[in-house]
Amino acid sequence: MAQLRQLDWFGALSVDAQGWVGEVVDAGIARFLVWLNNPEEPLVAANTGLGTVPAAAAHAITLGQTVELIRTAFEAIEPVAITMAAKGDEEWLLQQIARYGREIAFASALVYARVAEQRGARTARQSSDLVDALITGRSNAAIELLASRTGFTPAQRVRAAACVPRKDPQVALAEIENTARKLDRQVVAALHEGLIVAIWTAHSRENPSTVGRQLFGPEASAVIAGPAESIVHAGPFVRRAIAGLAARPTRPRNRGVLDASALLPERCLIGEVAAQDELVERCYLTLKTAGTGLLETVDVMFDNHGVLEQAARALPVHVNTLRYRLDKIEKLTGFDLRDSRASFAIFTGVSLGRIREAADENISDL
């Protein structure tokens, strides 16, 4: 023990950790002497003395430090042990000490492997609990508590993604964790109803699709949403990513990572209420409130298949006035009626808005 205390890092250990080291040394020597009376008995890891140390020691002392402890202990023990051997038995005793030392080394590796396995299982369970809490809309306090167990702090901005695993899900999760370590980024990943859901810390001036390809692979079918101001507010973004993944079959030519916002009208088609609310707000209520014939312009553009000259005559306005209205619609909604996909989004939002409005009027009439 005096020799062990000379190690540079030993003094920095907690009192408990130093006590565990002492227990292992005492138990190891005692069990070695018992075994030495019958050295033909097979040695098993549990009988080397490490069985007395709690698993918590593996968190306080690294495997590298443990190896250094073992080496230092045997360097201290061997010279003294030789003086106790009967004449002619010195070499035999050294061989038994070396054999016992190997077993202790193997036992140490086994302890750390078991702790790592338990830690991995615990991390997987905590990640799954957090993802489930976000999807089901648990309280902020509950999410914050679960997030703290995974290492996230409430102040960090995050992005969420859902992905269809292209290989064994457990292998895919392990690869995501390895990539996260290489990127030095906090990532929570869990399996949810056959999908992989991942949440990671968002950095400024980054391309989220690039991060998604790094985490899931360049050919992965994944949808990203966010950023959310914090993990506590990530629930809606997780749900958007999952809904976006369900809507992806509508875009068969678009492979790889997509943003959930690029699938907004498709998410409406599969019945995502949040997407419907957003599109109605952006494309119907906004244009209706703005006035100046913008909703009429939308209708006429669709009736005339997007041909500007025909739509201008139908309104009737000068074609430059029509272009001005289209620019204003794009500014208010973020969608350009001159683009086929954007016009699809506007048409979906306006149609949903009118359907809802008519339904509300029918209910009020009753």
pLDDT digits 0-9 by tens, 329-358? 999 999 999 999 999 999 999 999 999 999
Beta-ladder partners of 259: 224
Q: Could you tell me if residue 129 is inside a domain?
A: no
The count of structural domains within the chain is 3
283 and 251 in a common domain: no
Q: Is the same domain home to 109 and 197?
A: no
Band (pLDDT 50/70/90 cuts) for residue 13 is confident
> If you average pLDDT over residues 46-50, what whole number do you get?
54
Last residue of one domain, picked from the residues 87, 120, 153: 120
Q: Residue 44 pLDDT > 80, yes or no?
A: no
Tens digit of pLDDT for each residue in 215-229?
998 878 899 998 999
Residue 301 belongs to domain with CATH number = 1.10.10.2840
In contact, 20 and 53? CB cutoff 8 Å: yes
Tell me the residue range of the domain where 337 lies: 273-365
Out of 254, 269, 284, pick the residue that ends a domain: 269
Kindly report, residue by residue over 135-159, the tens digit of the pLDDT: 999 999 999 999 888 888 777 899 9
CA–CA gap between residue 292 and residue 76 (Å, rounded): 91
Q: How far is it, in rounded angstroms, from Cα 116 to Cα 59?
A: 10
Residue 200 buriedness (CB in 10 A; 0-12 / 13-18 / 19+):
buried
Based on the fold, state whether residues 142 and 188 are members of the same structural domain: yes
Of residues 234, 158, 244, the one with CA closest to residue 195: 244
Final residue before a domain boundary, out of 60, 93, 120? 120
- CATH number of the domain that 208 lies in? 3.30.70.2730
**Which pTM does this prediction carry?**
0.68
- Strands, E, within the chain: which ranges? 158-164, 187-192, 195-201, 221-228, 257-259
241 and 154 in a common domain: yes
**Shared domain check, 211 and 304:** no
Q: What is the mean pLDDT of the chain?
A: 86
Same domain? For 224 and 260 the reply is yes
